Structure 1
């Protein structure tokens, strides 16, 4: 599917032609993006394979940790980690590349000359990655519960809120990062800080409870940390309501900051 087809798929047929609705326009964009995603093998590997590979790696590492001291089990350690990997590779890195590619190919510019509004364009472009990520999250959670024999979450609300915040935050961070990314090639560099900081500082590789108090307080302010904290604490029962609300506040702050950055800095035409 060419970029011209993608752009024309959501445009009005003319002054006398039928008008489309926001839902139909976003559906057309999402369908086109899902088709393009299925044709891009490298992206499919990043989206589908990397989270699974890293989940197995985390499971192997967790088996050698003394998790009982901090009130965790292998399951409550690995399952939130696997969801976080989906957010990083399935949503964040994928959408940064997608937005930059569509911008460099002038797809975003063409779409803005038609009926879709800016929010519709950004949201419609992200639907394919978000839907794929949600399906992966559910599949990994179910597989983790069955394989690791994990009991139901102590606080389902924290787990659900953590996933919702995580998906929204990953998508907005991706859009904000795309605003500062000059080309598709450079996107591999611009995603690295968030990806590496999240993997090593948000409790994915080792729990934050194992760090010194000062380091823990700093790491809790990182973008993905509150998401992992909500999921892991909700599952294990170690997270109090005050702690959960604090994590939600941190996540909400990152969402607002990312949305503000997108509004002020997002570019619709190629950077020169």
Structure 2
């Protein structure tokens, strides 16, 4: 059995555990959707960056909820499994290290993609929006974002001694990345110096690319003009390149800090 097949099998096991565990189901699946709905209902007013405020915030929420399943919960999951020797036992079987880590990340990504689909349906039903203008670009941004946060979760896990501590350790990162991104507020509303810094944080290219892909408008540049299929991909290339750099940084951090052996005696 190759790494991909092993990872898929382990992802199915992880998903089964999430949906059977009430606490995990609420934290990883329901809570992000409830938070997204609550924040979107308090949108920043009509005419935000050329569209209704609720619609602007809701498209930002598609990127925001990444931090739950693929970062906060996954960091705690990796840490708990390591401390309980589950990771070591899995390595004793046919699964490789790539399959063990990739299986959990794949399961978390599946949860996140399901949440994105739900948000798209809600936007269409409640706000009368059309389907995403570019599903492939939206999916690519979602998958790259999930890869970044999954790798970052591995790094945080290696620095934490318990699952609870791992989730607490993710909070400053979440506040920095989400607070410093155009999830709810357009960059044009920020001071120029702060705007320049925010443009290079990893959450910004995820938010801007997903918003551009969903609405078909240029939210990577400053004009918010309608874009054709090729224009959307051309506009997104710098953001995708920046995100690829951040994925490489997260991979280096994961390689440096992730641990297979328990931190506690």
Question: Structure 1 length normalisation: TM-score?
Answer: 0.83
Q: Is the 8 A contact 1:202 1:228 kept in 2?
A: yes
| Change in CA separation of 1:259 and 1:66 when aligned onto 2, cut-off 3 Å | same
Map residues 15-164 of structure 1 onto 2, 5 A cutoff.
20-62=1-43, 64-68=44-48, 70-74=49-53, 76-164=55-143
Q: Is the 8 A contact 1:26 1:123 kept in 2?
A: yes
| Comparing 26-35 and 94-103, the one that deviates more | 26-35
| Change in CA separation of 1:158 and 1:213 when aligned onto 2, cut-off 3 Å | farther
Report the RMSD for the aligned CA atoms in angstroms. Answer: 2.2
Partner of 1:13: none
Query: Would you say how many aligned residue pairs link Structure 1 and Structure 2?
Result: 251
Partner of 2:258: 266
Q: Which ranges in structure 1 are unaligned for 5 or more consecutive residues?
A: 1-19
Alpha-carbon deviation of 1:24?
A: 4.3
Alpha-carbon deviation of 1:76?
A: 4.0
Q: Is the 8 A contact 1:199 1:205 kept in 2?
A: no
Alpha-carbon deviation of 1:25?
A: 2.7
Q: Is the 8 A contact 2:63 2:210 kept in 1?
A: no
Q: Which ranges in structure 2 are unaligned for 5 or more consecutive residues?
A: 222-230
Residue number among 183, 186, 207 corresponding to 1:228 in the alignment: 207
Q: Is the 8 A contact 2:75 2:166 kept in 1?
A: yes
Q: Is the 8 A contact 1:54 1:85 kept in 2?
A: no
Determine the C-alpha separation between the residues in 2 that align with 1:76 and 1:158: 19
| Change in CA separation of 1:100 and 1:160 when aligned onto 2, cut-off 3 Å | same
Partner of 2:157: 178
| Comparing 137-146 and 203-212, the one that deviates more | 203-212
Question: Structure 2 length normalisation: TM-score?
Answer: 0.85
Query: SS state of the match for residue 67, structure 1?
Result: coil
**Of the two, which has the highest radius of gyration?**
1
Determine the C-alpha separation between the residues in 2 that align with 1:157 and 1:128: 20
Determine the C-alpha separation between the residues in 1 that align with 2:170 and 2:189: 27
